[in-house]
């Protein structure tokens, strides 16, 4: 039976969990995901696990925070004056804002606290600083030409 190798397009299903077992992502809602192995489209540890797998095979892959979404960085939590925000909709904890980073790239911020004069927003990925586990199932292999 064929096994997945670099250059192949593979179709996978996955469930992502945090250390405490909380499911934080899966393909049940979005459908299976296609990935070309060797193009850096997924985390290296997941790609490494998929390489050599056969269709129907399942693996559990643990990815430490440094190799997942990186460490939490305190400097990514900032205060934004409310005067710099549009009046509507009123800011609420959990709301997302798009800002421009110092490098000019778009940056997603999550409001974590709302005060009278400012809001505290976090630019860290919600899974930054967390080890995660992927339960991956290989559904299909389209071999590279």
pLDDT tens figures, 91-131: 899 999 888 777 888 888 999 999 999 999 999 998 999 99
Q: Would you say the C-alpha torsion 107, 11, 49, 136 has a positive or negative sign?
A: positive
pLDDT tens figures, 15-64: 999 999 999 999 988 899 999 999 999 999 999 999 999 999 999 999 99
The third-level CATH classification (topology) of the domain covering 9-69+128-142 is Chitinase A; domain 3 (3.10.50)
* Residue in the block written with tokens 């609420």: 92
CATH class of the domain whose range is 74-122: mainly beta
pLDDT surpasses 90 at 3: yes
Query: What's the pLDDT score for residue 71?
Result: 95
Is 40 in a helix, a strand, or coil? Answer: coil
- C-alpha–C-alpha distance, residues 6 and 144, integer Å: 8
Domains of the chain by residue range = 9-69+128-142, 74-122
């Amino acid at each position: 039976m064929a096994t997945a190798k670099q250059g192949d397009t593979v179709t996978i299903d996955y469930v992502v969990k945090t250390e405490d077992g909380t499911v934080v992502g899966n393909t049940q809602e979005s459908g299976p995901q296609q990935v070309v192995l060797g193009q850096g489209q997924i985390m290296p540890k997941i790609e490494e696990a998929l390489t050599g797998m056969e269709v129907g095979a399942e693996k559990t892959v643990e990815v430490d925070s440094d190799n997942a979404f990186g460490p939490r960085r305190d400097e990514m939590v900032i205060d934004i004056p409310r005067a710099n925000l549009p009046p509507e909709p009123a800011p609420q904890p959990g709301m997302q804002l798009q800002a421009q980073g110092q490098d000019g790239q778009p940056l997603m911020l999550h409001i974590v606290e709302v005060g009278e004069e400012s809001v505290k927003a976090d630019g860290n990925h919600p899974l930054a600083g967390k080890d995660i586990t992927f339960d991956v199932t290989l559904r299909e292999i389209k071999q590279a030409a």
